[in-house]
Amino acid sequence: MGIARYWREIPQRYNLIGTKCGSCGRVYFPPKAICPVCRRKSIGKMEEYKLKGTGTVETYTIIYTPPPHFEGEEPYAIALIKMDEGCYLMGEIVDCDFEDIHIGMKVEACFRRIEEDGTRGAIQYGYKFKKAE
């Protein structure tokens, strides 16, 4: 991934900055330019909103065949997480035994290394999740 592409998304990747519809109050992540529920009414009213980082595992998988940028890290857990604000997002679950991961598990965001562009390129950081403390 190019440097600018990573840099652009630092607010989301580091701090879970999404948007909140000023019309209905729904929270979206990643940010949306328009609320799919309020549509026209939401235009110009989508406000920056920082997710708390806590949520619940909706479903999960353990990846044994990784993409190139995760090679060597397998097996690892990926979950679809329902954030407390109501939106879903996808992320890795770290520091948790696979047997302990279950649908309904409470998780919280943590800060980890996601990928690096070889040994000479940039390191990309972002959110992952761990069992809520």
Partner 1 sequence: MRDVAIIGSGVTKFGELWEKSLADLVAEAGISAIMDAGIDGTDIDAMYIGGMSAGRFVGQEHLGALAAEVSGLSELHIPSTRVEAACASGGLALHSGYLAVASGMYDTVIVGGAEKMTDVAGKEATNILASAADREWEAFFGATFPGLYALLARYHMHKYGTTPEQLAAVAVKNHHNGSMNPKAQYRREITIEDVLNSTMVADPLHLLDCSPITDGAASAVITSVEKAKEYTDDIIKIKASAQASDSISLAGRSRFDALPATIEAAKRAYKQAGIEPSDIDFAEVHDCFTIAEIMAIEDLGFFKKGEGGKAAEEGLTALDGEIPINTSGGLKSKGHPVGATGIAQIHELLLQLRGKADKRQIEKAEIGLAHNVGGSGGTAVIHILEAI
Partner 2 sequence: MEKVGIVGYGAYVPRYRIKAEEIARVWGKNGKSISAGLGVYEKSVPSMDEDTATISVEAARRAIKFSGVDPTEIGAVYVGSESHPYAVKPTATIVGEAIGATPDMTAADYEFACKAGTAAIQTCMGLVKSDMIKYGMAIGADVSQAAPGDALEYAASAGGAAYIIGKDNIIAEINETVSYTTDTPDFWRREGEPYPGHGERFTGEPAYFKQVLSATKKLMDKMGTKPSDYDYVVFHQPNGKFPMRAAKRLGFSKEQVEEGLLCPIIGNTYSGSTMIGLSAVLDVAKPGDRILATSYGSGAGSDSFDITVTDKIEGYPRNNIRKMIENKVYVDYALYMKYRGEFK
Binding site for partner 2 (CB under 8 A): 10, 14-15, 72-73, 94-95, 97, 110-114, 123, 125, 128
Choose the one of partner 2, partner 1, none that binds residue 95, judging by a C-beta under 5 to 8 angstroms depending on kind.
partner 2
User: Counting contacts by CB under 8 A, is residue 64 touching partner 1?
Assistant: yes
Sole window of 19-27, 38-46, 69-77 interacting with partner 1 (rule: CB under 8 A): 69-77
CB of 16 to partner 1, least distance (A): 12
Do 103 and 89 form a contact (C-beta atoms < 8 A)? no
Instruction: Determine if 85 is a binding residue for partner 1 (CB under 8 A).
Output: no
CA 101 to chain centre: 17
Pick from 81, 88, 132: nearest CA to 110: 132
Phi-psi region of 66 (alpha: psi -120 to 50; beta: other; left: phi over 0): beta
CA distances from 61 to 42, 79, 99 (A): 35, 6, 12
Binding residues for partner 1 (CB under 8 A): 1, 9, 30, 58-71, 73, 76, 78-80, 87-92, 103, 114-115, 126-128
